[in-house]
Structures are given as structure tokens and as C-alpha cells.
């Protein structure tokens, strides 16, 4: 349901790929791990070093992004905010992208003021840079606060999987109510965007259950 809401390019034969999480903090950790592993595999296949991954965000990101970077040894490159402009500047963000950037994170509903960042502009600028450099730098959208607002109030706004470089999106349920306490989700654009080696297959209750999670209490 959420993948369809976010316009994932799903065919009838292609099921949605995503997991329920403990809030958007765990969702962001999982999305970041998927980006890091995809980048590592790509660099290894090219015979290049994968020792210094980085992620580009605005300085307005929620603290869970800083936790991801510190816990999983990824350099956090923050775009500084300016007077009167309190969200990620797409031009400045793309300037900071290099070969070791695992993704650029945009926020749909900034922690500071609720503002939607310009994901469409970021996508277009990154497409141009990727075509020039041969890189494959993707985008993650932290839609924890805006993911269940934008599709209904601003259906024409392009911020989701309609943009080709958006590979994963997290969204909170607990910010809206009528859900289990603390629930969130992370959705991937396709199966290709979630490396198989991160998925575990368990058989506790008589059937195969694929799992990708940091919290095993559910």
C-alpha cells in the first residue's frame, strides 16, 4: 500500500519491497546500510577502495542521521544552512558529492520548520553530475513527517519514486496516530536496491520469513 502511494514502479509480478520498523530512526539505519553495501559492492567490482564512504545531508537533519554515520562509520557531509534558507540547498549538496558518496538524503518535512526540500531539483542536478562522472549517486528521502501528507495535499509534487534516483523512502506511522506505538516503514524502489546479502531467512514458525531489521523484539 505504501509503495503504491509513493509511486513505486511496481508490476503485478514485482511485489513491493520494504519493512516495518521501530520508528523512522531504525528505517534510516536500514536504508543507510543498504546504500553503503550497494556502494561497497560497486567499488569492489571496479577494483577501487571502499574505505571512506560518505553521505551528504543538510545540517537540519534529525539526529538519527548522525547516529547512522557514527555507528556505521560513514562520514557525514552536512550542507550548511544560510540565513532565511533553512533546508538542504540542492546545488550545494551536489557540489559536495564525490565518488565515495553512498547517497544524498533529502527531507520531506524538515525537523526545524516542516518545510519540504526540493527533491526534484536535487534529482535533476544529480542526474547531470552522474552522467558527467559515471557515478551512480542515489537519493534517499526522509519522509518521516511529510510522507503521509504530500500524496494527499500536493499530489502533483514530484518527490517520490517518480524521480529515478530516489531509491528508498522512510515514513513514520507514529506521527499520525491510529497505529502501533512507534511504528515506521522503509520502502525500496525495487528488489535491486536492497542487497540480498543483508536479508536473513528464518524458519521459526514453519515457513520461510525474510527479515532485515536491527530490532528483533517485533
Q: What is the pLDDT of residue 184?
A: 95
- The total domain count for the chain is 1
Is 7 inside a domain boundary? no
Question: How remote is the C-alpha of 157 from its chain's centroid?
Answer: 18
Q: Is residue 6 part of a domain?
A: no
Other C-beta atoms within 10 Å of 132: how many? 8
The C-alpha cell at 148 is 503521509
Q: What is the pLDDT along the chain (218 residues), one digit of tens a residue?
A: 999 999 999 987 778 899 999 999 999 999 999 999 999 999 999 999 999 999 999 999 999 999 999 999 999 999 999 999 999 999 999 999 999 999 999 999 998 899 999 999 999 999 999 999 999 999 999 999 999 999 999 999 999 999 999 999 999 999 998 998 899 999 999 999 999 999 999 888 888 888 999 987 65
Query: Which structural domain, as residue segments, surrounds residue 38?
Result: 20-211
Q: Residue 145 maps to which CATH number?
A: 3.40.640.10
164, three cell numbers: 529515478
Evaluate whether residue 162 is within a structural domain: yes
The residue to which cell 535491486 is assigned:
192
Q: Provide the 3-class DSSP secondary structure of residue 17.
A: strand
Judge whether 143 lies within some domain: yes
pLDDT at 169 (0 to 100): 98
What Å distances lie between residue 176 and 13, 96, 114, 156, CA to CA? 31, 34, 14, 22
Is the entire prediction scored with pTM above 0.85? Answer: yes
Query: Which set of grid coordinates corresponds to residue 195?
Result: 542487497
Residue 136 lies in a domain: yes
Q: Distances from the Cα of 21 to the Cαs of 78, 146, 174, 210, in angstroms?
A: 26, 17, 11, 14
Residue 32 pLDDT: 98
Amino acid at each position: 500500500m505504501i509503495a503504491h502511494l509513493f509511486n513505486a514502479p511496481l508490476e503485478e509480478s514485482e511485489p513491493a519491497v520494504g519493512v516495518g520498523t521501530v520508528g523512522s530512526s531504525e528505517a534510516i539505519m536500514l536504508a543507510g546500510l543498504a546504500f553503503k553495501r550497494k556502494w561497497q559492492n560497486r567499488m569492489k567490482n571496479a577494483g577501487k577502495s571502499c574505505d571512506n564512504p560518505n553521505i551528504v545531508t543538510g545540517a537540519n537533519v534529525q539526529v538519527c542521521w548522525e547516529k547512522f554515520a557514527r555507528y556505521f562509520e560513514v562520514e557525514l557531509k552536512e550542507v550548511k544552512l544560510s540565513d532565511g534558507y533553512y533546508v538542504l540547498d540542492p546545488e550545494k549538496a551536489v557540489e559536495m558529492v564525490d565518488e565515495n558518496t553512498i547517497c544524498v538524503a533529502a527531507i520531506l518535512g524538515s525537523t526545524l520548520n516542516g518545510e519540504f526540500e526540493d527533491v526534484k531539483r536535487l534529482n535533476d542536478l544529480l542526474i547531470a553530475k552522474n552522467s558527467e562522472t559515471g557515478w551512480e549517486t542515489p537519493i534517499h528521502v526522509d519522509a518521516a513527517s511529510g510522507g503521509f501528507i504530500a500524496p494527499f495535499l500536493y499530489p502533483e509534487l514530484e518527490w517520490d519514486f517518480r524521480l529515478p534516483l530516489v531509491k528508498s523512502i522512510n515514513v513514520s506511522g507514529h506521527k499520525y496516530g491510529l497505529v502501533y506505538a512507534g511504528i515506521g516503514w522503509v520502502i525500496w524502489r525495487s528488489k535491486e536496491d536492497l542487497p540480498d546479502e543483508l536479508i536473513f531467512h528464518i524458519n521459526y514458525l514453519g515457513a520461510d520469513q525474510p527479515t532485515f531489521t536491527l530490532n528483533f523484539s517485533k
